Amino acid sequence: MQATVSAKRRIGQLEVSLTGLGCNNFGWRIDEAASQRVVDAALDAGINFFDTADIYDKGRSEEFLGRALGKRRREVAIATKFGMKFDDTHFGARPEYVRQSCEDSLRRLGTDYIDLYQIHQPDPDTPLADTLGALEQLKQAGKVREIGCSNFSAAQIREAAGKFVSVQNHYSLFHREPEAEVLPECERQRLAFLPYFPLANGLLTGKYRQGQPLPKGSRGDAGWGPKMFTGENLAKVERLIEFASARGHSLLQLAFSWLAARSAVASVIAGATTPEQVRANASAPQWQLAAQELAEIDRLMA
């Protein structure tokens, strides 16, 4: 029997699966047929939250996702983003560009509304109030259901004055910067937090082990090695594997469940290149970590 996502959490008015599918691999890492298989596996596993962006392979991720969902589009919540450099003339968060980007994403996705439209990064050249005004107009027109941000600081989130329902930032056992200010701000404002890179570029999948060569074709083998796959980090991975296995769980389950233990976390966004990865991710956040287990994890990571 296939394990599926059972838990649902909220992003504003949206009810989403605790595991979300990050579609950043579509196009540049896997072709359209493989992307279709990943989306089908996600739907079969109960995943209903799909996160993409206009810049992912210059729009092809959105195109692949829209075609893969097809007639099942209304069963899911689609999140996409704008604002990072698409090309030399398409970037930023000016009101006219926000409107144009939304129309472009709607066309690529083959839909008439976006469930969660996110500013991909702050635009220092555009007042946030101007961007928010354009996004509110898109909401009123029914083209966008909810508004979120990505890569924003706590101060920038406060500046938005309650217009956002979500914050998508880098967060994992190996990257805990949001704990200082952003997560507390999300909890204070009751905003949904969406962690990206939850598996630390594959470090928390369990396929990278101390004293073993990096798997061929993996992210580590492709050049991430010196940055993430250090002796110190791999030693921490071994401690986490031992901790999880002693309790009948995998490292992958630990990585997801640790994030899910945060009340602000609404959906853990993880990419996948195969149906097998999707199924593993879908069933991962089912370990209810106790307070003493969370404290022990902190000690192991120190």
Among the options 56, 97, 171, 208, which is catalytic? Answer: 56
- Pair of tokens at residue 117: 């439209």
Distances (CA, A) of 298 to 58, 176, 234, 236, 258: 39, 11, 16, 11, 11
- Pair of tokens at residue 294: 């969370």
**Active-site residue, 56 included:** yes
Nearest to 19, CA basis, from 51, 61, 64, 66: 51
Cα torsion through 138, 144, 147, 150, rounded to 10 = -110
- Give Cβ neighbours of residue 248 (< 8 Å, ≥ 6 apart): none
- Give Cβ neighbours of residue 204 (< 8 Å, ≥ 6 apart): 172, 173, 174, 198, 237, 240, 251, 252, 254, 255
Catalytic residues: 56
